[in-house]
Structure 1
Amino acid sequence: MHTSFDDLSLVLGEIALFRGLSPVVVGEVARASQVLSLPKGRVVYAAGDRPRGIYHVMSGHLKTAVSSPDGGEKVIEILSPRQAFGVAELFADAACVSTVETVTPVVLLAVGREGIFRAMEQEPEVARRMLSAMAERQSSIERDIAADCFQSGTAKVVDYLARLAAESGHGAGRIELELEIPKHVLAARLGFTPETLSRIFRELSDAGMIHVHGKQVTLLEAFSRQHLPCPAPRRGAAAALRRTGQPAGNWFERAAGSDEGRMVAWG
């Protein structure tokens, strides 16, 4: 997808990693950037690939997964809008361990490694932000590992729904959410089968906690009273469940105008 230099600079200025940097530094990054519009099921990079750059999710969802020799798959992360990925892989200078694949149609901003390295040479703040992004992801992974070790399946689902509701700024009453990723992907992320996820949803529904109808998930007042004691300030869109109707800026509408893009290799 072709995006003008000015539009790329505008997009970069809205991303936390590059916000507030000098026009010269942003220009270096913009010259190494491209917008990719990808369909569901497209692999961004696979285990064994060499890292080529970092990626920022503009819309849609992706999964990060690792595979066993016998073909088993473990989903270790769901990537959502405004998240970046590929940072640690870029600086490790080694083959990627995981595979990142789209689970919905996705629009990404891809920044080539040379552009990142040139920006770091010109502005040390870029390196500090990259380290901060890696530290935040490490902390998130450690929290997820702790949950996998110590929480039951039902507790994982409850905690997941409670965190999503809090992140979207809702902490009381009925909360209407929409499931934006396939249920089998959500189940894999939480560490069990789709059948187990369906059973847990059914048990929570029978207990008067939630109501599930297709992609629609309603957190009922009983759920809010028990698991959402205080309203939380709005911090952004939920990871895999989010409320619908978010507006998009003009540059985003132009960038997302194509239904399908193609991966372009950096030189």
Structure 2
Amino acid sequence: MNHCDIPCKESLEAMRAPSGAAASTPEIERLSQLLTQAPLFNGLSAVEVARIAKGVREIKVPKGEILFHRGDACTGFHLILSGQIKLAFTSADGNEKVVEILRPGQTFGEAVMFMDKPYVVMAQALTEAQLLHIGKQIFFDELAVDPLFCRKIIAGLSQRLHRLMADVESYSLRSGRDRIIGYLLREEEIRADDTPPEGRVSIRLPTSKGTIASRLNLTQEHFSRILHELTNNGLIEVEGRTIHIPDIARLRDSLG
């Protein structure tokens, strides 16, 4: 087989270009604009984004709605435009273990889509949310012609694997106290756009304390007890779901 036997990106795009141009509609343009809000699609041309937009549908879900259950078939993956989504395992007796709390710009469902397996977790909206569902086949078609896009997907999956490994390390080697302090510091970094904050700061917890406790592999009682201890030590002040940190440098230095 020589190189002419292998379809290259230019030839595949040429074969698909006429139908792609004719199919452009105001709805495709609107969905393309929504797709470009996500870092995953940065660097793609308008034509490439428009091709993907043909396999996209917008989903608006109220707080508490379940997007899918464990065992449901996976037909694509989701991109969060606004709101928060919880991924969790649920036992037969109703106990729940939160795996991830996802925010705008993040995606989920790629791994099971690539494996052609059903979902292994359930997904639920923690707040009112707006998402895009990107269909599996249109996505695979784009991967076939764009190596850079492939690398972006692999990088995203690798980052998620790295986070999960960090979670295992934290659950195994770090105390509950250090897990909570680490979580608060990460929340502040996100809020401050990765600029190291100084002095007094306030953090609004993105969801309920019970959900965060499950995410940190703690019971809600243990979570509350640690917050109480940190309050008694003058490291934090709790006001509902708002955590005030009088001196974030001191909290950072208190990590074990």
TM-score range, shorter chain: 0.7 to 0.9
Compute the TM-score of the two structures, normalised by the length of structure 2. Answer: 0.83
1:73 to 84, 87, 96: 96
1:189 to 205, 212, 215: 215
Distance apart, 1:171 and its partner CA: 2.1
Instruction: For CA contacts below 8 A with separation 6 or more, give which structure has more relative contact order.
Output: 1
Residue in 2 that maps onto 1:227: 252
Distance apart, 1:54 and its partner CA: 1.3
1:98 aligns with 2:121: yes
For 1:102, the aligned partner's letter is A
Distance apart, 1:170 and its partner CA: 4.2
Aligned-partner Cα distance in 1 for 2:196–2:240: 22
More helix by share: 2
Distance apart, 1:4 and its partner CA: 2.4
Rg: which structure is higher?
2
Bigger mean CA deviation after superposition, 3-12 or 206-215:
3-12
Distance apart, 1:82 and its partner CA: 1.4
Structure-to-structure mapping, 1:48-87, within 5 angstroms: 48-87=71-110
The answer on whether the counterparts of 2:235 and 2:251 sit within 8 Å (CA) in structure 1 is no
2:232 to 196, 201, 206: 206
- Structure 2 stretches of 5 or more lacking a match? 1-25
What whole-Å deviation, never above 9, does each CA across 1:80-108 have from its counterpart, x for those lacking one? Answer: 12111111111011111111111111111
Instruction: Tell me the SS of whatever aligns to 1:17.
Output: helix
1:217 aligns with 2:237: no
For 1:224, the aligned partner's letter is A
Aligned-residue CA RMSD in angstroms? 1.8
- Structure 1 stretches of 5 or more lacking a match? 230-267
Deviating above 3 A after TM superposition, structure 1's stretches of 4 or more consecutive aligned residues are: 68-71
Bigger mean CA deviation after superposition, 187-196 or 147-156:
187-196
Structure-to-structure mapping, 1:1-267, within 5 angstroms: 4-167=27-190, 168=192, 169-221=195-247, 223-227=248-252
Instruction: Tell me the SS of whatever aligns to 1:122.
Output: coil
For 1:62, the aligned partner's letter is I
Aligned-partner Cα distance in 1 for 2:209–2:147: 42
Q: Sequence identity of aligned pairs in percent?
A: 31
Q: Aligned residue pairs: how many?
A: 226
Distance apart, 1:64 and its partner CA: 0.9
Compute the TM-score of the two structures, normalised by the length of structure 1. Answer: 0.80
The answer on whether the counterparts of 2:85 and 2:103 sit within 8 Å (CA) in structure 1 is yes
